[in-house]
Structures are given as C-alpha cells and as structure tokens.
C-alpha cells in the first residue's frame, strides 16, 4: 500500500454505517479530502475512553527511541506478535473510515519508472473501514509518537496487477468489534483475516496530479 486515502463523505455517512441508531451528531469542519497522505491527521474512529468517538489522529507512528516512521503495519507481523505491534493490539485498535485509497502502478521497468495512479473503491461505493493500530494516550499530543498505522495484507487475485499490498478493510459488523475495548485481543486479531476480499473492489486510473498530495480537487477520483 503506497499510503494515500480519500475521505470525501461527511462524518455521519461513516458513523451511520456502523451505528444507524446512535442518536449522536458528529461534525467536522475540514470538509471532504481527496488526497490524504501519511503525516497528516485524517478522521479516525475509536473507543479508547469507552464511548464511540471520531477524532483526527496522526497517520504514522514512530515508537519511542526508534528511527522508523511507520504508516502501515503488515498483517503477518501483527499476527506473529512481532515488535512493535504486539504492544498496541490490546489497547490501540482503531478504524480509519475512507471512500477509497490510491495505488501507483509502474508503467515501465527500471529504477525510477513513471507510475500511473489508480483509484480503488468498493464496487457498491460504500464507505470502507480500515483496521489500524494507534499509540493513542489520553491528553497526549496528536503527533507521530501517538500516531497510527494502517493494517495491510497481501493483495491476492486480480488486485495484484495494481499493487502487491492493500489495506485491510473490515465489513461493518466486524469493524464494530475491532474497536470494542472489551472484545478479546485474540478474537480481534482473528477478525483481520476476514477483511473484504479483492472481489469487493474495483479500480480505475486517475490523473497523475494525484501524485502530489497537495492536489485536493474533486476530480482527483475521476477516471481518465
């Protein structure tokens, strides 16, 4: 996964997919974002304090005294209990709602070939809920020390012709359990193997300007 997502829907469009009768209003003044890279603060969903919340958290995590800045977390490493993900699986489970993500496909061989960006979304255009792990702390700065990484897995089937890894998107009924702090850790990790299959997605090429994360126009997602 190269690391760009789109959040063009309103906060309630995401929330109501999980909790149709929550009877709470969530607002966000940032408006739609068509090109969100790591190092920024996208909308996230969590239950760290018990109640369900929307909060903008830092995309990317640098563990204490580590030189590594990590925007994604490999599923095989998580399931193996490898450093540093084991310390987050019990207490740091969050969701990142999105409408799609982008991947780049090389157009030629060589060390630095030109690349074509692709817009990947659910075939029914429903919102996606990406599993993620965060080092959130109450009252802490929303910085990379307390950021998050998206869980990624191998791309099987047809999607491998665009990219060999993809974010783990959980169906709504499983996404609710992923963020439940009372849900046992072992069972939560097992959910990650039941993300949406490749057949749930479709994709098309988009304009190359998407390669610049400052490009935020709505036509970023239009097919070319």
What's the pLDDT at 157?
A: 47
Q: 0.75 exceeded by the pTM? A: yes
What's the pLDDT at 2?
A: 63
Residue bearing tokens 């702090």: 181
Q: Active-site residue 100, yes or no?
A: no
Beta bridge mates, 119: 102, 204
- Segment 204-216 shows an average pLDDT of 95
Measuring CA to CA, how many Å separate 59 from each of 41, 112, 162? 6, 26, 23
94: in domain: yes
What's the pLDDT at 142?
A: 92
What's the pLDDT at 110?
A: 75
Residue bearing tokens 């390669």: 211
131: in domain: yes
* Least trusted range by pLDDT, from 48-57, 154-163, 209-218: 154-163
**Is the confidence at residue 15, as pLDDT, over 60?**
yes
Strand 72-74 with 148-154, pairing: parallel
Q: Active-site residue 2, yes or no?
A: yes
**Is the confidence at residue 83, as pLDDT, over 70?**
yes
Q: Among 69, 51, 104, 81, which residue's Cα sits nearest to residue 210? A: 104
Name the active-site residue from 2, 53, 100, 182.
Answer: 2
65: in domain: yes
Contact yes or no for 166/155 (Cβ under 8 A) = yes
Give the number of C-alpha atoms closer than 13 A to the C-alpha of residue 23, restricted to the C-beta side: 0
* Least trusted range by pLDDT, from 71-85, 100-114, 176-190: 100-114
**Is the confidence at residue 46, as pLDDT, over 70?**
yes
Name the active-site residue from 16, 53, 55, 103.
Answer: 103
218: in domain: no
The gap between the terminal CA atoms of the chain, to the nearest Å, is 22
Structural domains of the chain, count:
1
Of how many residues is the chain composed? Answer: 224
Q: What is the tens place of the pLDDT at every residue in 115-170?
A: 899 999 999 999 999 999 999 999 999 999 999 999 999 755 445 556 667 899 99
220: in domain: no
Structure tokens at 125: 């255009």
Task: Report the alpha-carbon distance of residue 17 to residue 82 in Å, rounded.
Answer: 32
222: in domain: no
DSSP string, 202-216: EEEE--GGGGSTT--
106: in domain: yes
- Give 170's contacts (C-beta < 8 A, 6+ positions apart): 95, 129, 130, 131, 178, 191, 192, 194, 195, 196
Residue bearing tokens 């069972």: 187
Task: Find the CATH number of the domain harbouring 136.
Answer: 3.90.1680.10
- Structure-model confidence comparison of residues 30 and 74, the more confident one: 74
Q: What is the tens place of the pLDDT at every residue in 31-42?
A: 899 999 999 999
- Structure-model confidence comparison of residues 162 and 47, the more confident one: 47
Q: What is the tens place of the pLDDT at every residue in 168-187?
A: 999 999 999 999 999 999 99
Phi and psi dihedrals of 108, rounded to 5? -160, 170
224: in domain: no
- Range of the structural domain that residue 31 is part of: 4-211
Exposed/middle/buried for residue 197 (C-beta within 10 Å: 0-12, 13-18, 19+): exposed
The per-residue pLDDT of the chain, averaged, comes to 92
């Amino acid at each position: 996964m190269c690391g760009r997502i789109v959040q063009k829907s309103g906060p309630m469009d995401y929330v109501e997919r999980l909790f149709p009768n929550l009877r709470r209003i969530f607002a966000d003044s940032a408006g739609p974002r068509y090109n969100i890279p790591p190092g920024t603060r996208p909308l996230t969903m969590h239950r760290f304090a018990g109640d369900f919340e929307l909060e903008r958290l830092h995309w990317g995590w640098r563990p204490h005294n580590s030189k590594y800045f990590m925007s994604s977390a490999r599923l095989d490493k998580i399931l193996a209990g490898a450093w540093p993900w084991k310390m987050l699986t019990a207490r740091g489970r969050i969701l990142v709602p999105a409408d799609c993500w982008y991947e780049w496909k090389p157009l030629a061989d060589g060390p630095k070939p030109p690349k074509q960006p692709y817009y990947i979304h659910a075939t029914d255009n429903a919102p996606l809920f990406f599993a993620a792990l965060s080092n959130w702390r109450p009252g802490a700065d929303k910085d990379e020390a307390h950021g998050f990484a998206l869980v990624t897995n191998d791309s099987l089937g047809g999607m491998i012709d665009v990219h060999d890894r993809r974010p783990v998107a959980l169906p709504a009924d499983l996404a609710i359990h992923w963020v439940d702090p009372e849900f046992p850790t072992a069972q939560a990790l097992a959910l990650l193997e039941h993300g949406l299959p490749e057949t749930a997605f479709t994709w098309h090429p988009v304009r190359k300007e998407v390669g610049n994360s400052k490009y935020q126009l709505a036509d970023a997602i239009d097919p070319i």
